[in-house]
Structure 1
Amino acid sequence: MTVSARAMAAATPATRDRYVDLLRVASLGTVVLGHWLMAAVSGDGIGNLLALVPPLQVLTWGLQIMPVFFFVGGFSHALSYRSLERRADGRPVYAAFLRARLRRLLGPTLVFVLVWTAGALLVQLAGADDGPLAGAALRMITQPLWFIGIYLAMVALTPPLLRLHARRGWWAFAGLAGGAALVDVLRFALGVPYVEFLNFALVWLAVHQLGFLRADGRIRRPALLAAGGLTGAVLLVAVGPYPLSMVGMPGEKVSNMAPPTLALLCHGLWLVGAVQLLARPAGAWLARPRVWRTVVAANGVAMTAFLWHLTAMLGVYAAQLALGLDLPEPATAAWWAQVPVRILLAAALTALLVACFRRFESPSRGDAGASSGNGPVAAVGVTLCLLGVLGLSMTGLGGLLEGHSATLVAFPITAPVALVMALGGRHLVERSGPLAER
């Protein structure tokens, strides 16, 4: 049975940290808005506005807000895992923790991929995938899934990292941050090949570790964290080999995002410090019933909206072409004049897609269980899920019939194989529960 946002808001316990829910929605909403603004679509294909107008790359210091989402994830994972442990009477809870986390995340994600895979096959069978727009759309539509793959890795590693946090506190974060700095030294100063890929784990897990610290109330000087992070990021970009943009740019030799760099970690530190400074005034605002109902409703569909927002944007451009309307050259006055209209139309189409697919994001009744299960099976399952999702983000959905592949952890992978891995991994996680749950 579906519970209304009004009922959920009314039932919110006084102890709930409402600000975390706001940060989750705001971070995903900022990413959506950034993608809509950065997409530079013309008759020649889909480009990046920030690459066409390099001075605008400074905007990524505000729009690149995924560190906040991972920070909030660390906070939520700490509370969720500890709650399961308290109710488990000494039984292992790893499998139950993974099931609860994956159900809300993978349900809408796999539906999105399956729908788009079916559409991509139809487009390719019809021979309509050789146009600049269609081909680019099939390549890019799964790219935002990278963050879901990273998030799944964070979920999988929460128990050992939470134990490390309980023993070492800030030193656990310092170890991860120091490892990220060492990787950049080995990469840029010593030219060690492939070492940079370690920062996919070290940088993002360091940000995730900050969420553990917040859960224990140990971020007591957010202004110092924000100032130190911002100063570090500015200095690294000014005198180091790091680019200005905090998102990847086409053709750049060094990206702060893929793989992540120490500059991106410093960027994450200043963002975390900044949002912590706003926690108290935001708390008073969130106490208003109407505001809180809005946040609750948005949280219930945030992942679905994120997954389908690029589809909506592409739909707006496709409609413009179908109506015979010219696409102005990106970054021209005519292009900027259309931006508000395109964003409003994309938002409306996203809302329509959310109405169609929101039921796949609804939590199941099994989410609250604290039953034990087969931890090794669940671990194998979540590993397959994260590799499958990361594989899909890299391969895209173009060239399905030609066996197009990408390299994932030194091995070639195709989109169909990645999808099977994700589906199989989810099945293993679900089957890891005790017999009574099946």
Structure 2
Amino acid sequence: MRRLRQLAERTPAGRERYVDLLRALAITMVVIGHWTVTVIGRDAAGRPTGHSALGDLPWAYPLTWLAQVMPVFFLVGGYANAASLTNRRARGGDATGWLLDRSARLVRPTSALLLTLTVAATLARLRGVAPAEIRTVVWFATIPLWFLVAYLVVVVLTPPMHALHRRYGLLVALLLVALVGLGDLGRLVGPAGLARGNYLFGWLAVHQLGFAWYDARSPAPPAPSTPGRAAPGHPAGDRPTPEHRAPGRVRVRRRRLPTSRRAALCFLTGGLTASVLLTVVGPWPVAMLHVPGERLDNAAPPSLALLAVAAGQLGLILLLRDPAERWLRRAGPWQLVIAVNLVVLTVFLWHLTATILLVGFLDAIGVLPTPPIGTAAWWGWRVPWLVLLAGVLTVLVAAFGPVEARSARHRTGRRAGRSSPARTALTVAGYAAVVAGLLGNSVTAAHAPEPLGTPVAALLAYLAGAGVLRLLRSGWGSRG
């Protein structure tokens, strides 16, 4: 509590606390949503199995328009990435150092999860557990890595995408939305391969809106003075940059996200209207989360319908900002938000492992309930189920959360100077290997005979990339 009070007291006056709240809420909603819709049953051999309840609860599909909060996370990520990259460059740093800082917070907690699962899988194999069974458990525990693959790619692309945003503003996001529409067309009429790019274009579009939101919250550049006189902030005789000339002010406005109450209502009503037209009238499913058996999936990859829901969510976010900011000025709520954000990735990465541990424990002692979905017993089990899962996750966060919390305190930004081309190339290569490893794990079948749980090639690629990034963060390969 003492450290939380210190962090709260040191919060800069201009910090957008609402962004931190949204990040914490988004991950919390993902965790609770996954836990709530999980159905535990048994296979023919009597072993516990799990699947999503959404396929049996069609009345809950509209609720997924709020429960699908990944767009919120990418929106917040865009804001935070734009803010930190801009601040780093203002201190004389470069994009390579920024990527290395980001890798510490993202890769270290992920490494803790993968290494722990690998050790557990090795022990299980030594005890005679079949490789296919080991893979099934590890596959379920690593489902969150699907999301992390997309986010890591977006982080690597942040420097060039932010440069495009500064030049072309919201036109970049509109182009990405158009590419998502092209991918949707491929899914509907062919070729289906066109839709693969939506995994990137969809989340990048939302991420770009985060850049525009940051611009809306940052000070505007000074306006030029009367002709023949220097603009404020420019010595006499120096020509203002295009960013500071009168035409440049228009360009800046085009980079900014409209955040007025009127704009928020337009986002909300426009997004909801488009969502209804695309789902109820159009071909897309109403559910914004995966539903077993559905031919189309709004989230894998992101569809125009999901982006329409994201626009509606953005409107709601902007409408609630002022009361939320007033609430966050209180010490208690703000300290709670800080506490969650210190371990937010750990919470996300380990919440399905908590499910596995609880199911295994209850099954081992013979008290695992498996009521039919939708029955009174199933609904009655939801509350104790959530409470028990929260208890298990609390233990896991206490054990592994310090890895993430410490990562936030180790910054390569303390080193001045710019990176060499070789260091930049190694940084990108490290990220590429990490992404390839995580992607290789995610696309491997859930019942593949993998004795280590994670495919060996994918695990080696990930560890190689994580190792390179760790060496670079320590200063290896830097000048001087």
Please give the TM-score of this superposition, normalised by the length of structure 2. 0.83
Mean Cα deviation higher: 379-388 or 151-160? 379-388
Structure 1 residue 135 displacement after superposition:
6.4
User: Partners of 1:368 and 1:95 in 2: how far apart?
Assistant: 10
1:331 aligns with 2:380: no
Partner in structure 2 of residue 5 of structure 1 = 4
Tell whether the 8 Å contact from 2:122 to 2:451 is kept in structure 1 after alignment: no
Q: Do 2:132 and 2:451's aligned partners in 1 also have CA atoms closer than 8 Å?
A: no
Residue equivalent to 1:164:
164
Preserved contact between residue 135 and residue 452 of structure 2 (Cα < 8 Å): no
Q: Aligned partners of 1:118, 1:397: CA distance in 2, in Å? A: 19
From 418, 437, 441, give the equivalent of 1:372: 418
Residues 132 and 450, structure 2, Cα contact 8 Å, conserved in 1: no
User: CA shift at 1:387, angstroms?
Assistant: 2.1
Aligned match for 2:346, one of 288, 304, 323: 304
Distance 1:94 1:428, change over 3 A: farther
- Which residue pairs with 1:113 in the alignment? 114
Q: Is the 8 A contact 2:275 2:305 kept in 1?
A: yes
In the superposition, relative to structure 1, how do residues 131 and 59 fare at CA in structure 2: closer, same or farther (>3 Å)?
Answer: farther
1:136, CA displacement in angstroms? 4.3
Distance 1:7 1:396, change over 3 A: farther
Match of 1:56 in 2: 60
- Secondary structure of the residue aligned to 1:40 is strand
Partner of 1:100: 101
Match of 1:18 in 2: 17
User: Which one-letter code corresponds to 2:275 in the other structure?
Assistant: A
Q: Secondary structure at the match of 1:194?
A: helix
Q: How far, CA to CA, are the matches of 1:53 and 1:116 in structure 2?
A: 32
Structure 1 gap segments, 5+ residues each? 405-413
8 Å CA contact 1:140–1:396 kept in 2: the answer is no
- The Cα of 1:427 is off from its aligned counterpart by 2.5
CA distance 1:129–1:10, shift in 2 (3 Å): farther
| 1:385 match | 434
Deviations 1:271-310 (A, max 9, x none): 1221121111100000001111111111111111111111
- Cα–Cα, structure 1 residues 279 and 43, in superposed 2: closer, same or farther, change >3 Å? same
Q: CA deviation at 1:225?
A: 1.4
1:27-426 to structure 2, matched below 5 A, reads 27-44=26-43, 45-88=49-92, 93-129=94-130, 136-189=136-189, 191-217=190-216, 218-220=256-258, 221-325=263-367, 326-361=369-404, 362=406, 363-369=408-414, 371-373=417-419, 374-395=423-444, 399=448, 401=450, 415-426=455-466
| Distance in 2 separating the partners of 1:429 and 1:397 | 29
Q: How much has 1:127 moved relative to structure 2? A: 3.5
Question: 1:260 is aligned with what amino acid?
Answer: P
Q: Give the whole-Å Cα distance in 2 for the aligned partners of 1:51 and 1:131.
A: 26
C-alpha displacement at 1:86, in angstroms? 1.1
| Distance in 2 between residues matched to 1:55 and 1:392, nearest whole Å | 33
Output the CA distance in 2 between the equivalents of 1:371 and 1:313: 46
Deviations along 1:354-376, whole A, 9 cap, x unmatched? 11111210224324435432211
Q: Which has the larger radius of gyration?
A: 2
Deviations 1:109-153 (A, max 9, x none): 111011112212332443435898x76433311111111111111
Question: Which amino acid counterpart does residue 168 of structure 1 have in structure 2?
Answer: Y
Number of residue pairs aligned between Structure 1 and Structure 2: 423
SS at the partner of 2:39? strand
C-alpha distance 437-327 of structure 1, shift in aligned 2 (>3 A)? farther
Higher deviation after alignment, 117-126 or 393-402: 393-402
Give the C-alpha shift of residue 59 in structure 1. Answer: 2.1
Identity %: 36
C-alpha distance in 1 between matches for 2:306 and 2:151: 17
In 1, the alpha carbon distance for the partners of 2:440 and 2:120 equals 19
> Quick check: 153-162 or 310-319, which moved more?
310-319
Q: Tell me if structure 2 keeps the 8 A contact 1:124–1:401.
A: no
User: Taking structure 1 as the reference length, what is the TM-score of the superposition?
Assistant: 0.91
